[in-house]
């Protein structure tokens, strides 16, 4: 049996997406910037995808810029906005952000601004009291992700927006929605954020495609230059196959399946607790309202994460030792460190991430094999 439980890293393109891409490779390959009819038809389809994505984020009437993925969307949101400020301002970024956000620090500071980290609490969400104390009129932008890619914690975006409204109403809020889009309810209008990043391959679309949703009146400058596509905010010939696939992924994503995924995630957590007495759950418990349905982060001390990962791979079970973007760096996860998790626990942590395609049999098999390897390997692990 092959069990894929690394859906936070990437998801398998769905059958409707594959069929749509194959069809467009035959007949929809034209450059949408051209003026003849077949190309203009492709442009119409791209514009239809814009509306689908905006509606899915409750952002009808706002702007959307297609990008090469979530990383570029985050970069454009942060750097692009801070390029509009001539005077030095402050940018607040949560300490548990994805590298797509946190790595913008050097560029933003190179523009003359100051970047500060918002501390996280032990469950992984930001410390609202400390955010309140950090916030004043010098803040231009606050960046907090919707769902943490390693632990599944859902950040309190409404409360964050409330602090912004009281303390620095002119500041913007950027939300990295890569792990939350379609999986967790979100309303750009109701919450009052200025930008929202999404990625196609996290929702069974294609890699190399993402988007940044923007309030119409939100100021931003390009970070990529060329032919002036995407309202001159993201030059380069549009990735037509990827964009059309994103539209199909949004149209066919089964929102109701999130409830089934949540049930399976609860089942996995319970099975691991029963079979591995020493397991440490780093994610919030599923009875917690602030927990995404598809991510479970658990540690199996004293067995190190890579050892367990490779043992599970031998059984055809694929999981992650943390963020796929940082898993090759061989160091403690910055997210788990920011949560105050001890290094000896962080070093033994794995991330299991589910999708609507995950089955009960796969969950049972993964839990059984994890327990088997833990019982075997802990005997040979130095303490």
Last residue in a domain, options 252, 282, 302: 252
62 and 182: one domain?
yes
State phi, psi for 262 to the nearest 5 degrees. -60, -40
Q: Residue 379's pLDDT is what?
A: 86
Q: Per the structure, how many domains does the chain have? A: 2
pTM recorded for the entire structure? 0.94
Q: Domain range for residue 156? A: 15-252
166 and 137: one domain?
yes
The Cα 175–Cα 172 span in angstroms is: 10
Last residue in a domain, options 201, 232, 252: 252
Which CATH number does the domain housing residue 320 bear? 3.90.1150.10
Which CATH number does the domain housing residue 229 bear? 3.40.640.10
169 and 208: one domain?
yes
339 and 208: one domain?
no
Residues shown for the chain? 383
Instruction: Record the tokens describing residue 312, joined without a space.
Output: 């599970």
159 and 82: one domain?
yes
232 and 289: one domain?
no
259 and 145: one domain?
no
Non-local CB neighbours of 252 within 8 Å, separated by 6+ positions: 14, 16, 17
Neighbouring CB atoms inside 10 A of 288's CB total 13
Provide the CA 322 distance to its chain's centre, in angstroms.
Answer: 13
172 and 320: one domain?
no
222 and 297: one domain?
no
173 and 281: one domain?
no
The Cα 175–Cα 300 span in angstroms is: 32
Q: Residue 189's pLDDT is what?
A: 95
Last residue in a domain, options 252, 274, 292: 252
Helix or strand (DSSP H, E) at 15: helix 15-27
- Sites in the chain below the pLDDT cut of 50: 323-324, 326-327
Catalytic residue IDs: 325
Whether the bond into 302 is cis, omega within 30 of 0: yes
Non-local CB neighbours of 362 within 8 Å, separated by 6+ positions: 1, 3, 5
173 and 116: one domain?
yes
202 and 302: one domain?
no
């Amino acid at each position: 049996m092959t069990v894929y439980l690394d859906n936070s890293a990437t998801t398998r393109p769905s059958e409707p997406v594959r069929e749509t891409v194959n069809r467009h490779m035959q007949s929809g390959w034209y450059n949408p910037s051209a003026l003849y009819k077949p190309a203009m038809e492709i442009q119409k389809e791209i514009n239809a995808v814009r509306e689908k994505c905006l509606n899915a984020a409750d952002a009808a009437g706002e702007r959307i810029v297609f990008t090469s993925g979530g990383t570029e969307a985050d970069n454009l949101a942060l750097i692009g906005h801070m390029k509009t400020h001539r005077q030095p301002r402050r940018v607040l970024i949560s300490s548990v952000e994805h590298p797509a956000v946190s790595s913008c620090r050097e560029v933003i500071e190179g523009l003359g601004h100051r970047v500060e980290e918002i501390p996280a609490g032990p469950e992984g969400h930001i410390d609202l009291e400390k955010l309140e104390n950090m916030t004043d009129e010098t803040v231009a932008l606050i960046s907090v992700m919707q769902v943490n890619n390693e632990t599944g914690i859902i950040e309190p975006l409404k409360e964050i927006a409330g602090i912004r409204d009281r303390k620095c109403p002119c500041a913007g809020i950027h939300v990295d929605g890569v792990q939350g889009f379609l999986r967790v309810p979100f309303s750009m209008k109701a919450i009052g954020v200025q930008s929202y990043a999404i990625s196609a391959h996290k929702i069974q679309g294609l890699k190399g495609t993402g988007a940044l949703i923007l309030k119409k009146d939100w100021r931003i400058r390009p970070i990529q230059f060329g032919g002036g596509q995407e309202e001159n905010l993201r030059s380069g010939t549009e990735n037509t196959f990827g964009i059309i696939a994103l539209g199909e992924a949004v149209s066919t994503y089964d929102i109701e399946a999130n409830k089934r995924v949540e049930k399976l995630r609860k089942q996995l957590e319970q099975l691991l607790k029963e079979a591995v007495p020493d397991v440490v759950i780093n994610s919030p418990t599923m009875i917690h309202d602030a927990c995404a349905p598809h991510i479970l982060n658990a540690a199996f001390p004293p067995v190190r994460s890579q050892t367990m990962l490779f043992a599970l791979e031998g059984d055809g079970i694929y999981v992650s030792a943390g963020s796929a973007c940082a898993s090759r760096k061989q160091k403690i996860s910055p997210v788990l460190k920011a949560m105050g998790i001890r290094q000896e626990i962080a070093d033994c942590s794995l991330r299991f991430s589910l999708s609507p395609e995950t089955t009960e049999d796969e969950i049972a098999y993964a839990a059984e094999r994890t327990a088997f390897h833990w019982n075997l390997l802990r005997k040979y692990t130095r303490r």
